[in-house]
Every structure is written in structure tokens, then in C-alpha cells.
Amino acid sequence: MMEKERSTQKVRCQWCGNPVEYSGRGRKPKYCSRSCRQRAYEQRHEGRGVGISDSDIVLRGKKAQYLFDSLFELRCAAEDINTAAQEGATSSELAAMTGDLVSLARDIESIRLGVEQANT
């Protein structure tokens, strides 16, 4: 008998949105860690725990720090464009700078998309 090759599927943690590996056998995991499972339990049993509503978004430390750093970088890029415009930069210079700004915004948006995918 030939043994089927198992491919791992990616599912996302229902609490934080991090990827969780799933080999395709048994029940799909819902959470990436015990702490995420505990936070979800606390949320389901209102009155206990952290008091997070369904509309709140939870980011782990590394993602939160990345978000803060990226927003700072985005603000600096916007200020650079403003300064360049006031100093009479050419349209091609401004176009290049705004292209960088849009690229930064898309990178930041990927954080939001990852969280939304986890909630679906």
C-alpha cells in the first residue's frame, strides 16, 4: 500500500492571528498557544479575565512593536513629502516619494489583513 504524503496546511490562531500548522489529521487547532486559548476562554466567559470585546483587535508584542515602528516611519515619510513640496521639489521627486509612502502604507495594511483573516 502506498502511503499518502501529508502536506501541512496553515490555519490562523483565532485569538492573535499567528499561523498554526495543521497536518490535516484530526481536529484543526484554533489557537497557537496555551495563553491564546486562555485569553479566548476568558473573553467567552465575560466577567472574568481581560474584558476584551468582539470588536477589539489583539496584537502580540512583536506585531505591536512592528506596527508602532511602521507608523513612525510612515509619518516621517509624509513629513518628508510635505517639506519637499514646500521647498519646491520637482514633480518626479514628489512622485518617487509618494510611491515610497504608498508602499509603506501597504506594508502596514498587511498587519490589519492578517488579523482580519484570523477572525474569518
Where are the chain's structural domains? 1-58, 60-120
Q: What pLDDT, on the 0 to 100 scale, is given for residue 61? A: 76
Q: Which of 29-33, 65-69, 103-107, 108-112 has the lowest mean pLDDT?
A: 108-112
Q: What pLDDT, on the 0 to 100 scale, is given for residue 116? A: 47
pLDDT tens-place string over residues 18-71: 888 877 788 888 888 888 888 888 777 765 555 566 667 677 778 888 888 999
Contact 42, 15 (CB under 8 A): no
Flag whether pLDDT at 114 surpasses 80: no
Give the pLDDT band of residue 92 (cuts 50, 70, 90): very high
Q: What pLDDT, on the 0 to 100 scale, is given for residue 120? A: 45
Contact 28, 22 (CB under 8 A): yes
Q: What pLDDT, on the 0 to 100 scale, is given for residue 119? A: 45
- Distances in Å between the Cα of 93 and the Cα atoms of 26, 64, 84, 100 are 56, 32, 8, 11
Chain centroid offset of residue 81 CA:
26
Q: What pLDDT, on the 0 to 100 scale, is given for residue 54? A: 63
**Mean pLDDT over all residues of the chain?**
79
